[in-house]
Amino acid sequence: MSEQSDDEEYGSQGSEESEDSADQVPMETQLVQRTFDSQHRSVVRILVRGDGNKNSMCSGCVAHNNGAACSVLTTYHIFKRFSQDNMQVSVLFHGMDKEVPAKVLIAEPDKDLAVLLVAEAVPLFPPVEFSDEVDLSGRYVVMMGFFGLDCHSMVVEPGASIGRIMSEPFIYKGVPSFECFYANHTIEVGTSGGPVFLDEKVVGVNMEADIGKVSAISMNTVKWVLKSRIAGDNVQDLTIPAMLQQIASQS
């Protein structure tokens, strides 16, 4: 009987130690892991090929997916050095061995924003949700993308980087309807266009690094760009996925 009691006591202590260990995991680590677990299937790798050996890669996210067509949100600057006539764009989705052809549905050079359209059936990878948060400064965010990508990269899973938002949204370099915010997450080659998550919803699109900070495109900019391409009085009531579906159906 004494051995059984000792075993039970030891088991109880082990359980308590396990719970204590979980409690000791830093909040930042828990946030990164939670965001990665829930969102990594929605983050994609984008490859752009041009004449000769001109290849570039970046990141993006599934913004709308109805099983018959899929829209991917990313940045524009990765495309600007390619001739539009000879450019080939493809997307590698989570768990797929082969890239899927895509076309640039929306190109907004002045706001460094692009939307790709995959006009064929792909698995129902979950589209991201978009944040409506307006008070951003000081909040923790997680940027997800494919770090260190080049045209020979074998990376098959996105990485995640935590940081904090360092500013409220502001008009970037005086460009009308081009709103950004600063954050301090880590970025590398290949992470341009990656989604920036706040509480597991996209609050920004990773754009470029500056001294000591990173610029991310705000959701207001995304909405302004999409609304400018839709006619009708009800455009103000449409969500980002609804606008993407409408634009894609007209292409």
pLDDT at 154: 58
Please tell me the distance from the alpha carbon of residue 181 to that of residue 200, in angstroms, as a whole number.
18
pLDDT digits (tens, 9 = 90+) for 108-121: 999 999 999 998 87
CATH fold, domain 40-118, is Thrombin, subunit H (2.40.10)
Q: What is the CA radius of gyration of the chain?
A: 21
Residue that has been written with the tokens 């829930």 in this structure: 38
pTM above 0.95, yes or no: no
Q: Specify the pLDDT at position 17.
A: 52
Q: What is the pLDDT of residue 16?
A: 53
165 touches 136 (CB < 8 A): yes
For residue 249, the model assigns a pLDDT of: 84
Q: What pLDDT, on the 0 to 100 scale, is given for residue 155? A: 65
> Which residues, given as ranges, of the chain have pLDDT below 70?
1-23, 52-53, 149-155
pLDDT at 8: 47
Burial class (CB in 10 A: 0-12, 13-18, 19+), 213: middle
H helix or E strand, kind and range, residue 39: helix 27-39
The rounded distance, in Å, linking the Cα atoms of 114 and 75 is 5
What order of strands is seen across the sheet that includes strand 195-198? 159-164, 140-145, 195-198, 201-210, 213-218, 179-183, 170-171
CA atoms within 13 A on the CB side of 39: 30
In SS3 terms, 180-234 reads as EEEECCCCCCCCCCCEEEECCEEEEEEEEEECCEEEEEEHHHHHHHHHCCCCCCC
pLDDT digits (tens, 9 = 90+) for 137-164: 999 999 999 987 665 565 678 999 999 9
